[in-house]
């Protein structure tokens, strides 16, 4: 009986720790800490913390790019950290989202006297949480990432302390979010009970002969609820419009793009990689069938509810909130396609398509929110459709840019949104199953429905005349940068998507052994 003891001792002496494998995450966290500390010494200075955060994001981005190339991390925290294209693709999306959010929110930070150090530090911690959610190959890590992210976003929603709506938003998000976290955690506990492991690779191996198959099903169901809440899919979407409307506009943009993508990253990892279909094993078949069915229903509901309710909105932020619910539904089509994939290559390509979709959605949506922030003025007063009446030719640059984003959200060719939609519909059609084909048909019918409200913004801006006075706002430099990035991104991803798609579907050269 000496053997286990020596193992324990070597583990304690040389634990399976590899700083290098989580370097990008650490850099982001460090930047957040620097921002926070700096703020406590020089609270009046608004710019430095933003610049520090941007630099941190940039370094993290370079490190990520290196990890996709030759940089080979060793060791993997006993298999708790994954190193695959899912992680890298999504992490890249998060960094971009946060960087854009920082640029977009400069106006708002100046205008409303926001404690910028706090804000930037929270944003960086949220990013750290998101990155952990994508890289965690262990339920515990995923949960830790999720909580880090959630707590930071709860606070950010309520940053506009004097505003009742902002407070309502934060409170609602906090209470419902905690509730959802509890579901998720309970689900994780049950899965652990059934398989005896929290490591996703291990779970996948043990799904075939789980202790209590029923436990696994219940655990999976609870996790569907928990993740469903975080990605904001119907029927777990009720919180979204209120929270999105009340939160400060840049934060709304961030939440619609970042945390949603992060939740997708974990959702995909746990279900596609953790609960696979193992040929000939009945238990895995049940589990796989159940979650695929549940997700199909959720996708259909999300698209339909999101789009139809969005049509009725009179507020641009609420409209974008419902549109984000619909987009979660579209992304889920690719997710389901990944679940139905017949080979590892197909599966990885499908996962990459979901990441790519989140990238296109994030860049388009953040661009749109940048303009909504700019036009919103203090306390987001001007966010009704009426406020956009006839501004098209008074401020053509802004209006045409916003139109481009709307067309991209709609998914018209030559924009990022089109390539995103093509990419997520592909895996579902590849499976060749009638149900999945039907799902795609429902998705495209929904796209046509969504044309109505995306076009409405264009209609309001260009086709109507303005009756009251309106002067075009001055566009500050950081917003110009953010908009240029968004416009170039939307067109680049729409026209030259090949490079990015290749990159996203290509696994890094050295995958780490899972344990």
Q: Which residues bind other proteins (CB under 8 A)?
A: 393, 396, 407, 412-414, 418-419, 422, 425-426, 429-430, 432, 437, 440-441, 444-445, 447-448, 451-452, 455-456, 458-459, 462-464, 496-498, 501-502, 505
Measured from the CB atom, the residue of 361 and 418 that comes closer to other proteins is 418
d(CA 169, CA 286): 39
Give min distance, CB of 415 to other proteins, in A.
10
Measured from the CB atom, the residue of 24 and 417 that comes closer to other proteins is 417
Give min distance, CB of 350 to other proteins, in A.
13
Q: Of all helices (H) and strands (E), which one includes residue 351? A: helix 344-376
d(CA 335, CA 347): 9
464 CB burial (10 A radius; 0-12, 13-18, 19+)? middle
Measured from the CB atom, the residue of 50 and 334 that comes closer to other proteins is 334
Give min distance, CB of 254 to other proteins, in A.
29
Measured from the CB atom, the residue of 333 and 512 that comes closer to other proteins is 333
Measured from the CB atom, the residue of 284 and 505 that comes closer to other proteins is 505
Q: List the structure tokens of 95.
A: 């960094």
Give min distance, CB of 236 to other proteins, in A.
27
Strand partners, 199: 138
* Cis peptide bond prior to 304, omega within 30° of 0: no
Under a CB-based contact definition with an 8 Å cutoff, are residues 146 and 266 in contact?
yes
Tell me how far CA of residue 162 lies from CA of 106, 112, 165, 238, 332, in angstroms.
19, 10, 9, 25, 37
Strand partners, 81: 136
CB-based burial, 48-81: b 16+ in 10 Å, e otherwise: bbbebbbebbebbbebbeebbeeeebebbbebbb
Give min distance, CB of 276 to other proteins, in A.
22
Give min distance, CB of 86 to other proteins, in A.
17
Instruction: Name residues whose C-beta falls within 8 Å of residue 119's C-beta, 6 or more positions apart in sequence.
Output: 105, 109, 156, 159
d(CA 494, CA 327): 17
Measured from the CB atom, the residue of 55 and 311 that comes closer to other proteins is 311
Instruction: Name residues whose C-beta falls within 8 Å of residue 364's C-beta, 6 or more positions apart in sequence.
Output: 405, 408, 409, 415, 416, 417, 486, 490
Give min distance, CB of 91 to other proteins, in A.
21
Q: List the structure tokens of 407.
A: 């067309």
Give min distance, CB of 489 to other proteins, in A.
16
Under a CB-based contact definition with an 8 Å cutoff, are residues 419 and 493 in contact?
yes
Measured from the CB atom, the residue of 103 and 458 that comes closer to other proteins is 458
Measured from the CB atom, the residue of 336 and 458 that comes closer to other proteins is 458
Give min distance, CB of 317 to other proteins, in A.
22
Give min distance, CB of 337 to other proteins, in A.
11
d(CA 216, CA 193): 8
Give min distance, CB of 321 to other proteins, in A.
22
d(CA 481, CA 307): 31
Measured from the CB atom, the residue of 167 and 506 that comes closer to other proteins is 506
Specify the 3-state DSSP secondary structure of 314: coil
Measured from the CB atom, the residue of 281 and 429 that comes closer to other proteins is 429
Instruction: Name residues whose C-beta falls within 8 Å of residue 12's C-beta, 6 or more positions apart in sequence.
Output: none
d(CA 161, CA 158): 6
Give min distance, CB of 498 to other proteins, in A.
4
- The dihedrals phi and psi of 474, each to the nearest 5 degrees, come to -75, 135
Measured from the CB atom, the residue of 140 and 422 that comes closer to other proteins is 422
Dihedral of CA atoms 211, 216, 217, 220 in degrees, nearest 10, equals -170
Measured from the CB atom, the residue of 260 and 347 that comes closer to other proteins is 347
């Amino acid at each position: 009986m000496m053997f286990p003891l020596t193992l324990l001792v070597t583990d304690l002496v040389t634990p399976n720790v590899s700083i290098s494998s989580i370097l990008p995450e650490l850099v982001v966290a460090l930047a957040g800490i620097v921002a926070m500390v700096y703020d406590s010494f020089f609270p009046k200075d608004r710019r430095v913390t933003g610049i520090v955060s941007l630099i941190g994001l940039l370094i993290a981005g370079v490190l990520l790019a290196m990890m996709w190339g030759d940089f080979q991390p060793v060791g993997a925290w006993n298999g708790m950290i994954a190193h695959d294209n899912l992680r890298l693709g999504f992490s890249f999306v998060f960094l971009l989202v946060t960087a854009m959010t920082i640029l977009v929110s400069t106006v708002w930070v100046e205008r409303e006297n926001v404690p910028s150090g706090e804000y930037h530090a929270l944003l960086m911690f949220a990013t750290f949480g998101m990155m952990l959610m994508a890289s965690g190959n262990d339920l515990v890590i995923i949960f830790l990432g999720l909580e880090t992210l959630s707590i930071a976003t709860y606070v950010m929603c309520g940053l506009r302390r004097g505003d009742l709506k902002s407070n309502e938003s934060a409170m609602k998000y906090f209470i419902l979010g905690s509730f959802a976290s509890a579901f998720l955690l309970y689900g994780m506990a049950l899965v652990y009970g059934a398989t005896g492991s929290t490591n996703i690779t291990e779970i996948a191996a043990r799904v075939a002969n789980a202790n209590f198959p029923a436990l696994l099903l219940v655990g999976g169901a609870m996790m569907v609820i928990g993740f469903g809440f975080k990605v904001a899919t119907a029927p777990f979407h009720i919180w979204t419009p209120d929270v999105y409307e009340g939160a400060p506009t840049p934060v709304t943009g961030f939440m619609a793009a970042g945390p949603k993508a992060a939740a997708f990253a974990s959702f995909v990892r746990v279900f596609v990689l953790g609960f696979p279909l193992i040929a000939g094993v009945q238990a895995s078949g049940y589990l796989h069938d159940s979650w695929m069915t549940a997700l199909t229903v959720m996708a259909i509901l999300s698209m339909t509810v999101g789009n139809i309710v969005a049509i009725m909105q009179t507020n641009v932020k609420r409209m974008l909130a419902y549109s984000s619910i619909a987009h979660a539904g579209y992304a889920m089509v690719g997710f389901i396609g990944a679940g139905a994939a017949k080979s590892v290559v197909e599966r990885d390509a499908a996962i990459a398509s979901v990441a790519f979709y989140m990238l296109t959605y994030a860049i388009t949506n953040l661009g749109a929110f940048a303009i909504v922030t700019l036009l919103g003025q203090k306390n987001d007063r001007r966010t009704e459709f009426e406020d956009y009446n006839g501004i098209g030719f008074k401020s053509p640059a802004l209006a045409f840019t916003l139109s481009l984003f709307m067309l991209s959200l709609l998914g018209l060719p030559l924009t990022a949104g089109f390539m995103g939609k093509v990419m997520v519909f592909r895996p579902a059609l590849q499976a060749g199953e009638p149900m999945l084909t039907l799902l795609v048909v429902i998705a495209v019918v929904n796209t046509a429905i969504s044309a109505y409200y995306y076009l409405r913004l264009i209609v309001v801006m260009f086709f109507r005349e303005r009756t009251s006075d309106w002067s075009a706002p001055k566009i500050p430099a950081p917003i110009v940068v953010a908009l240029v990035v968004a416009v170039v991104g939307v067109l680049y991803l729409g026209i030259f998507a090949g490079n990015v798609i290749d990159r996203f579907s290509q696994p890094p050269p050295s995958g780490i052994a899972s344990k």
